[in-house]
Structure 1
Amino acid sequence: MHSDPAAAHRLRHDLAEAGCEVCLCRDVDDAAEQLATPSDWELLVLDGSLGAQAAALCARVRAAEMSIPVLMLCPGSSEADRIWGLEVGADDVLPEPFGMAECLARCRALVRRHQLGLEATPELRCGAVTMRVEAHRVSRDGQDVTLSPREFRLLQFFLEHPRRIWSRDELLTRVWGELEAVELDPKTVDVHIRWLRLKLEADPAQPALITTVRGQGYRCG
């Protein structure tokens, strides 16, 4: 959905030309109603210029545990704009203006990563932490823990590759994706790991789940 009807129709036309089946929604309520209808939705493309409405729709999608990735079209190109999109629940952010080739590449990458995630091991464990991939749920000592979509994917990646050391650049490429990795500060990884530690570690100051390997990166387990 898009706040600019003309831009929305152009985007729908271009996606359809690329072989995508597109449902264009009038507003946030229409989008929520469409998503609640049983169907094989693979991706939600959302206009970030809708501001609070866009954030509210992302929250509804995550609260309902809908198994669908979200691509946010970001009206600004600053790091703060991109971070806002990610923090409200988007899986990826595409700054405007953008080329259709990049938009298609990001759409396909999101759908592909999502499908690979559904095919992954349904339950992952490390210490007191358990992740149920298909249900998109994480618990520590049996208590559910709420993670943002990006935190969830980062934790999933660590749990799927235990005991291996990953540099910040490698994590950006593997979790955020190659297109976004070239634009983000590697310290973005540090911030997300700090958030994971605050939510999952018994003592965030002495982490046991995700540890720092000085001069090399991070390791799980």
Structure 2
Amino acid sequence: MSQQQPARLLLVDPSSPADTSLAPSLEEGGFELTCCTEAEAVVALQDPDVWIDLVVVCSDLNDDQLQALRGAAGSVPLLLLGSRDPERALNAGADDVLRQPFGLAELLARCRALVRRRQLAMPCRTVLRCGPIEMVVEEHEVRCGGERIRLSPREFRLLRFLLEHQRRIWPREELLVQVWGELEGPSLDPKTVDVHIHWLRLKLENDPSNPRLISTVRGRGYRLG
């Protein structure tokens, strides 16, 4: 991960996620933060469009709750704060436990160590760029002009294909086959491509009515770059 892309952290506080006092300190420490309840964390971790580097749980959870988080998190590390029984928490799925009392410096150091350990275990990232657009394929992340853009899975696949084949003109029928697949694509209305290109322009272009990034080549198709 580059320095311009802070680690994304889920801060789980079942009692009061919106008001937890740790949030400002973690953000000042360089993390991109989302505060949530345990149930919201499970949903977020199961969303393939959401990339999360670390889950920090602010209160002691029972074994079932921890195991639910562990199952949803996959390879995302879990740091449990304030556990009265660290051995039980580690056996139930936590990757690390920080007992009370602890200092902010130690908390930030533990968070960074867990994120770093995960990054070292991950394969090299594939980064695709065109002008202000940057896509990190493995993280399912797209930024435009530094701003994070949320795309549907199909929009992501279409943009990825265009980024991998910049400057080439692609007819709608060929995009259907390449992005939607050889089985589904030929049976779809070519206007399906027009709709998805329109959605991409709304999210990426400064002026979608006068696109500069994804252009239309009249009578031939679409081109990126």
Q: Which has the larger radius of gyration?
A: 2
What TM-score do you get using the length of structure 1 for normalisation?
A: 0.48
What TM-score do you get using the length of structure 2 for normalisation?
A: 0.47
More helix by share: 1
